[in-house]
Structure 1
Amino acid sequence: MPKILGWLLLLALLLGPGATHAGLPAGYRINLLTENFPPFNMAANGRNFARDAKIQGLSTELVREMFVRAGLDYSLTLHFPWDRIYRQALETPGYGLFSTSRLPEREALFKWVGPIAQYDSVLVAAPERRFELGSLEQARAYRIGAYKNAAVSQHLQGQKINAIDTLSDQGNIDKLLRGQIDLWATSSPVWQHHARAVGAEGLHEVLKFHSDPLYLALHKDTPDEVVQRLQRALDELRREGWSACTAEPQLCQ
């Protein structure tokens, strides 16, 4: 009997919480990348580079809590432009990025955890411009500016609409106000934050053409155990009704 009890104790230890950590090497860490995409992720000082505690946002706070619950170590860097960090997460094991859309053409490129948030894809016009658009197809005749390699830009490509890409959404605001583009393809509520930051008033939405959930995308070589632990942590947080607005009230003001 003592021998049987000993085997049962060993089995319980193997199947217990420690077992979920057994497949990861000591010091395992994920390098998380993000960009200024308010209110989901942004630098506290508004600049295009920040690390760790100097990065905030609704998605940022949720992702932090997910990693704590999952018992995983991470670093967090906000960088610019999106095209650069997207490529780094795509090509470099041990990396991930958020907040990003799980587009069909991206599905096999990453491993996914989410959704962590949601946004709308919209067309925005300058204050003096008026458009009557019932569909994205009707916008084809206009000059549309978009953020290079962002989900909105890739969605337009999928619809065979040639957008004028820039490396920043602030660049699109400038082009819109100068009349260099007719419409700005962007995300709501993100574009409102960018417009306020540069003092651009009177911009207005003329068409909402798509809605997307946002995800944490991990390099395709990320161990399945890591993905599962993060997804379980996220599901647990959702069941509890956890909110970044509760954790960091200033993000929702």
Structure 2
Amino acid sequence: MRTTTALIFTLLFTFLATTASADSFTALAAPYPPYSVSKGLTVKGVSVAALNAIMEMCGTPLSDRSYKLTPWAYAYECAARTPRQIIVNAKRTPVTEPLYKWVGPVMNSKIVLIGRRKDNLVIPFKSDLKKYRIAAVRWSRPEKALLEGGFAKTELKRTPTHVKSLRMLGNGEVDLFATNERGAPSLFEGLGMALDEFVIYHVYEEEPLYFAFSRDTDDRLISRLNKALEEFKSKNGAGQSRFGLTMSANALSMK
């Protein structure tokens, strides 16, 4: 009887500890629509929805207050130095690999160069981009990709927001705008710019996105989260997955 009672108290303590610590994870997300976007005082987006789903599947749900919208550099630095942090939309490279524990890949992101259809630009190779004026939002993921790919800051038309970049593109002040493929339609539509007047001239980079957890995270949780993500993305007999349905619903809510 004493053994049974002790077991019950142990299980109860474990449950309460897990519940109490669920919000002790902080999820750091840089602005990267539609993967992570600011919606009032909360952070939403398709990656946020995916992280919420698998964390809940593993019994460690996150609340809205767990998410912080931060610059990329801060997110990587903080998660490398501070316990119980998660980077949303992390890039896994030989440099970042040993600094975090990884869940994913979650989905792929394409960094693309978009221009006016009527300009009929010819860009067969990445090196040909140097011929053109390229607008990029300062400190954004697309700008970071261009800088890592060999562009100097002085070679880019760096703007504080996508609004300025798109206005410049529409007016012919620049030839191309660097953005991610999934997020581009909502950016153009938000400014009343007709999508059929623009075209993707070059896919600069395609990268898988991950959730990067600070090194203190239990390996057993990382394993469970990867299995949960695999289950979340698996398709049923009708060719549908919870992942696909969740992403579609989330994309609609972003409009």
Q: Same fold (TM over 0.5)?
A: yes
How far off is 1:105 after superposition? 3.9
**For 1:50, which of 41, 50, 55 is the aligned residue?**
41
Question: Residue 27 of structure 1 aligns to a residue in which SS?
Answer: helix
Give the TM-score normalised by the residue count of structure 2: 0.72
Q: Is the 8 A contact 1:99 1:216 kept in 2?
A: yes
What's the RMSD between the two structures over aligned residues?
A: 3.8
Question: Residue 206 of structure 2 aligns to a residue in which SS?
Answer: strand
**For 2:203, which of 174, 192, 208 is the aligned residue?**
208
Question: Residue 106 of structure 2 aligns to a residue in which SS?
Answer: strand
Q: Which amino acid aligns with 1:222?
A: T
**For 2:229, which of 213, 234, 247 is the aligned residue?**
234
Question: Residue 47 of structure 2 aligns to a residue in which SS?
Answer: helix
Greater helix share, structure number: 2
How far off is 1:86 after superposition? 4.8
**For 2:214, which of 207, 210, 219 is the aligned residue?**
219
**Which whole-Å CA distance do the structure 2 matches of 1:151 and 1:57 have between them?**
16
Gaps of 5+ in 1: 1-5
Alignment of structure 1 residues 77-96 onto 2, 5 Å? 77=67, 79=69, 81-96=71-86
Question: Residue 64 of structure 1 aligns to a residue in which SS?
Answer: helix
Q: Is the 8 A contact 1:32 1:77 kept in 2?
A: yes
Cα 1:160/1:247, change in 2 over 3 Å: closer
Give the TM-score normalised by the residue count of structure 1: 0.73
**Which whole-Å CA distance do the structure 1 matches of 2:126 and 2:206 have between them?**
13
**Which whole-Å CA distance do the structure 2 matches of 1:227 and 1:96 have between them?**
11
Gaps of 5+ in 2: 236-240
The equivalent residue for 1:243 is 243
**Which whole-Å CA distance do the structure 2 matches of 1:175 and 1:130 have between them?**
17
1:198 matched to 2:188: no
1:146 matched to 2:139: no
Cα 1:109/1:151, change in 2 over 3 Å: farther
TM superposition outliers: structure 1 runs of 4+ over 6 Å? none
Aligned pairs, number: 236
Deviates more, 1:190-199 or 1:158-167: 158-167
The equivalent residue for 1:3 is none
**For 1:64, which of 29, 39, 52 is the aligned residue?**
52
**Which whole-Å CA distance do the structure 2 matches of 1:173 and 1:249 have between them?**
27
**Which whole-Å CA distance do the structure 1 matches of 2:96 and 2:141 have between them?**
10
